[in-house]
């Protein structure tokens, strides 16, 4: 098995940045891509896959910097982050050492999540009980956070869990998508920070350079992805993403057979 090099760090950065905010699981895409490229799931690889999310974090901060200066919005984001923050800290070892290394878990989560998205769009009737982020109640913000915590299972998709949970709670499509962007900042910052804190001392200078490359590429692609997604949801549902997830699993199984 190969280690991450400049080429693969660019490829993984592109995939992370573009898929992070779409309901298709960036984590699953990184794991599947690493498998296809023959990259070993070493401690550095797993940390790389988590840490380049910080590029996507920066993209949200740049695009939505005014939102983070609004105290009412910030309070709702903090409340929504609490469930994932607590559960992520409690189950960190299980998530990284067991779930991240289980291809069956990743593939099953991708496929089942895709099926849920398709069924959800077929049966769901959209409501609009919160026209702005400031008007989302604390109870609903906590509910969104609980929904997001399911995405600690690789392949589920943080964006999908957050968006579906928010829409079930009566928050309109465009608003919950924007809220999912904002909620990603503390969520991914905590995940990245915790992982780097635990593993920073074992990385070489060359590995830090690879992290920097993945970070920069992820940042650029995340900006493009956010703008694409905001435009897409004006005219489409999430069903196509569900179908894509199922097809991705089928194609991957055929290739790796």
- What pLDDT does 201 receive? 65
pLDDT tens, per residue, the chain with 257 residues: 578 889 999 999 999 999 999 999 998 999 999 999 988 777 778 778 888 888 998 999 999 988 888 888 899 999 999 998 898 878 777 877 777 778 999 999 999 999 999 999 999 887 766 678 888 999 999 999 999 999 989 999 999 999 999 999 989 899 999 999 999 999 888 877 777 777 666 677 788 889 899 999 999 999 999 999 999 999 999 999 999 999 999 999 998 87
Nearest to 95 by CA among 135, 167, 171, 149: 149
User: Does a structural domain hold residue 223?
Assistant: yes
- CA 195 – CA 145 distance, rounded (Å): 21
Maximum CA extent, the chain: 52
- What pLDDT does 89 receive? 79
Q: Containing domain of residue 165, as a range? A: 6-256
User: Does a structural domain hold residue 1?
Assistant: no
User: Does a structural domain hold residue 169?
Assistant: yes
User: Does a structural domain hold residue 125?
Assistant: yes
User: Does a structural domain hold residue 249?
Assistant: yes
Q: How many residues does the chain have?
A: 257
Residues 52 and 87: beta-carbon distance below 8 Å: no
User: Does a structural domain hold residue 200?
Assistant: yes
- What pLDDT does 225 receive? 96
- What pLDDT does 93 receive? 75
- CA 257 – CA 252 distance, rounded (Å): 8
**Would you list the DSSP string of 198-256?**
HHGGG--HHHHHHHHHHHHHHHHHHHHHHHHHHHHTTT--SHHHHHHHHHHHHHHHHHH
- What pLDDT does 71 receive? 87
- What pLDDT does 49 receive? 81
- The domain tally of the chain equals 1
- What pLDDT does 125 receive? 80
- What pLDDT does 1 receive? 59
Nearest to 217 by CA among 14, 4, 8, 6: 14
User: Does a structural domain hold residue 119?
Assistant: yes
User: Does a structural domain hold residue 100?
Assistant: yes
- What pLDDT does 128 receive? 64
């Amino acid at each position: 098995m190969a280690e991450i090099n400049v080429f693969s760090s660019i490829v993984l950065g592109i995939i992370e940045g573009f898929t992070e905010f779409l309901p298709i699981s960036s984590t699953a895409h990184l794991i599947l891509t690493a498998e296809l490229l023959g990259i070993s799931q070493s401690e550095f690889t797993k940390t790389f896959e988590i840490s380049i999310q910080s590029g996507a974090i920066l993209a949200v901060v740049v695009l939505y910097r005014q939102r983070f200066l609004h105290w009412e919005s910030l309070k709702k984001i903090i409340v929504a982050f609490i469930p994932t923050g607590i559960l992520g800290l409690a189950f960190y070892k299980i998530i990284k050492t067991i779930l991240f290394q289980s291809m069956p878990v990743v593939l099953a989560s991708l496929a089942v999540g895709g099926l849920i998205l398709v069924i959800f769009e077929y049966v769901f009737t959209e409501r609009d009980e919160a026209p702005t982020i400031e008007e989302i109640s604390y109870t609903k913000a906590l509910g969104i956070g609980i929904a997001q915590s399911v995405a600690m299972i690789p392949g589920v998709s943080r964006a999908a869990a957050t968006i579906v949970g928010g829409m079930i709670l009566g928050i309109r499509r465009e608003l919950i998508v924007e809220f999912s962007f904002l909620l990603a900042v503390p969520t991914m910052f905590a995940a990245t920070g915790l992982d780097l804190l635990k593993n920073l001392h074992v990385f070489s200078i060359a590995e830090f350079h690879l992290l920097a490359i993945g970070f920069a590429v992820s940042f650029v692609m995340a900006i493009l992805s956010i703008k694409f997604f905001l435009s897409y949801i004006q005219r489409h549902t999430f069903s196509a993403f569900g179908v894509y997830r199922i097809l991705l699993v089928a194609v991957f199984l055929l290739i790796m057979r």
